[in-house]
Amino acid sequence: MDILIIDDDKKVVDFIRRAFESEQYRVEVSADGEEGFRMALEATYNLILLDLVLPRKDGLSIVKDLRAATVTTPVLIVTAQSSIDDVVAGLDAGSDDYLVKPFALVELLARARALLRRSAQERGAEIRFSDLRLDPVTRTVWRGDTEVRLTTTEYALLEFFMRNPNRPLSRGAIFDTVWSHSEFDRFTNVVDVYINYLRKKIDRGAERKLIHTIHRTGYILREA
């Protein structure tokens, strides 16, 4: 599973990173709020550990903007901000849990496992279509035996297709599902652009193409 840590306290980050890596998690780190926010938008993570006080973009803004962009990745705020008002603000912003520094490592790991379990229960079982597999728990995708790395938006787009196989999907329906809370206008070509991105990762080099265009309608996930 992939974990993103957004925190500029190098000592704490190194401590947390080693703990999670020893448990066989893959860990990426950002010490900058703007950079961390972009990473959370552009890649797929199973859990985000987030400080509140960060350079360039604060933690509360990051959570609010991620939720506005329909990123549902569980967020555990890990911060020295310890007042009741801080905790309430963090949870109301859209985070899933709140842990005050300094903390016991066993508690951090236990809270992380709880969020990952909860996320797994909410997302459900693996989805299969042809030789394409999508695991909503780990947010991992395979074409055959090859893992396919997708951005958050590409993943949301593919999941919508895989939950509606062999069914024509209009551009409007796709937009309303994947981009309904974004800054994009419904009449832009954002759907076609991301379909092209997804095809390059899913269909390029494959014997069978799975994502097909339906003239004047939209797209469909089918084997032929």
Q: Is the pLDDT of residue 223 over 60?
A: yes
Residue 54 near residue 32 (C-beta atoms within 8 A): yes
Question: For residue range 3-18, what is the model confidence (pLDDT) as tens digits?
Answer: 999 999 999 999 999 9
- Which segments of 58-182 are extended strands (E)? 75-79, 97-100, 127-129, 132-135, 140-143, 146-148, 169-170
Which sign, positive or negative, has the C-alpha torsion 157, 124, 128, 218?
A: negative
**In this structure, what CATH number is given to the domain that contains residue 159?**
1.10.10.10
Q: Is the pLDDT of residue 184 over 90?
A: no
Helix, strand or coil, per DSSP, at residue 30? strand
Q: If pLDDT is split at 50, 70 and 90, which confidence band does 125 have? A: low
* 18 and 95 both lie in a single domain: yes
Domain around 24: 2-123
* 10 and 108 both lie in a single domain: yes
Q: If pLDDT is split at 50, 70 and 90, which confidence band does 152 have? A: confident
**What crossing angle do the helices spanning 171-178 and 190-202 adopt, rounded to 10°?**
80
Q: If pLDDT is split at 50, 70 and 90, which confidence band does 217 have? A: confident
**Residues contacting 145, CB < 8 A, separation 6+:** none
Please give the span between the terminal C-alpha atoms of the chain, in angstroms, as a whole number. 33
* 91 and 158 both lie in a single domain: no
Helix, strand or coil, per DSSP, at residue 25? coil
- Of 137 and 21, the structure prediction assigns the larger pLDDT to 21
Helix, strand or coil, per DSSP, at residue 100? strand
- Domain count across the chain: 2
The domain boundary, picked from 89, 123, 157, lies at: 123
The domain boundary, picked from 123, 141, 167, lies at: 123
pLDDT number for residue 224: 75
Question: For residue range 74-121, what is the model confidence (pLDDT) as tens digits?
Answer: 999 999 998 988 899 999 988 989 999 988 999 999 989 888 877 655
* 67 and 20 both lie in a single domain: yes
